[in-house]
């Protein structure tokens, strides 16, 4: 993970991380943490609506991106899927009114196991999962969540269908609405990178240095 960018130090190629997207924001977030590794993006489908709604749909999108990137580039060492979704959240101002937040889900699928205790921290929860690889070998899977970003009511309403009231459209057409809503103080890349960094720091403290 840490180390000189683009160099494995022994003449071998650095580990290859594949992200299930060509989004510059997502790729730069991964590169900002895993500086020793090669990071490439691949176009995949998320298998969920353009605007995922709820934690489950957001998680499914992130997992599908990770596994689809593995299918596209099976020789990589780590595959990452990233998906942002709208998630309902209780309103602290009015308990009878439902508010919404944007939250990012990052799934990491690895050929090699992470250390036993690599849990994330507040704002970057990490959940261990197992996947099946060819030949019966287990893939190591981690699920991370970013800090949430409150979505203004006017933008929630804009995402709703006029007849059914269901959320069918993206709550923002901007590539980086996080920057706009925080007054430029925190871009979307920072939300993603912080979640990855907290997870990676936990691994480094335990001597894990695969990526």
- Following DSSP, what letter does each residue of 116-179 receive, concatenated? S----BTTB-EEEEEEE-GGGPEEEEEEEEPPPEEEPHHHHHHHB-TTT--B-S-S--SS-HHH
Q: Evaluate whether residue 211 is within a structural domain.
A: no
- Residue 49 in any domain: the answer is yes
In a domain, 11, yes or no: no
Tell me, yes or no, whether 10 lies in a domain: no
Integer CA distances (angstroms), 3 to 9, 38, 100, 143, in order: 9, 12, 39, 25
Greater pLDDT, 144 or 10: 144
What lies within 8 Å, CB to CB, of 157 at 6+ separation is none
- pLDDT digit string, tens, across residues 108-159: 999 888 765 444 433 444 555 555 554 456 889 999 999 999 999 888 888 8
Residue 82 lies in a domain: yes
pLDDT of residue 163: 63
pLDDT of residue 116: 53
For residue 198, give its domain range.
Answer: 16-205
**pLDDT at residue 36, rounded to an integer:** 92
3-state secondary structure of 105: strand
Find the radius of gyration of the CA atoms of the chain.
18
pLDDT in tens, 37-71: 999 999 999 999 989 999 999 999 999 999 999 99
Question: What's the structural domain count of the chain?
Answer: 1
Quick check: pTM over 0.85? no
Q: How confident is the model at residue 94 (pLDDT cuts 50, 70, 90)?
A: low
Q: Is 53 helix (H, G, I), strand (E, B) or coil?
A: strand
Residue, of 11 and 82, whose pLDDT is higher: 82
pLDDT attached to residue 4: 40
pLDDT of residue 134: 47
- Residue-wise pLDDT for 180-210, tens only, equals 888 889 999 999 999 999 999 988 777 777 7
Give the per-residue pLDDT at 106: 98
Asked if the structure places residue 210 within a domain, the reply is no
In a domain, residue 7? The reply is no
The partner residues of 81 in beta bridges, in order of sequence, read: 107
Q: List all residues 6 or more positions away from 37 whose beta carbon is below 8 Å from its beta carbon.
A: 1, 14, 15, 16, 17, 77, 78, 211
pLDDT value of position 117: 45
Q: What is the pLDDT of residues 167-186, one digit of tens each?
A: 767 888 777 888 888 888 99
* Structural domain includes residue 8: no
Give me the CATH number covering residue 61: 3.90.950.10
- pLDDT higher at 10 or 196: 196
Which of 198, 196, 208 minimizes the C-alpha distance to 28? 196
Helix (H) or strand (E) holding 199: helix 188-205
What pLDDT score does 90 carry?
A: 73
């Amino acid at each position: 993970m840490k180390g000189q960018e683009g160099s494995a130090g022994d003449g071998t190629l650095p580990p290859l991380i594949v992200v299930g997207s060509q989004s510059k924001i997502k790729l730069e977030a991964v590169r900002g943490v895993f500086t020793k590794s090669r990071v490439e993006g691949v176009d995949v489908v998320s298998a969920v609506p353009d605007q995922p709604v709820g934690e489950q749909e957001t998680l499914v999108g992130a997992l599908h991106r990770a596994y689809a990137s593995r299918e596209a580039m099976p020789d990589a060492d780590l595959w990452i899927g990233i998906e942002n979704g709208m998630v309902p959240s209780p309103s602290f101002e009015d308990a009878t009114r439902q508010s919404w937040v944007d939250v990012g889900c990052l799934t990491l699928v690895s050929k090699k196991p992470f250390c036993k205790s690599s849990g994330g921290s507040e704002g970057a929860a990490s959940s261990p999962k197992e996947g099946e690889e060819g030949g019966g070998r287990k893939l190591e899977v981690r699920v991370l969540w970013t800090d949430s970003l409150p979505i203004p009511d006017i933008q929630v309403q804009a995402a709703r269908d006029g007849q059914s009231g269901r959320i069918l459209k993206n709550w923002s057409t901007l590539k980086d609405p996080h920057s706009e809503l925080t007054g430029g103080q925190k871009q979307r890349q920072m939300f993603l990178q912080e979640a990855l960094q907290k997870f990676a720091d936990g691994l480094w403290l335990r001597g894990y240095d695969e990526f």
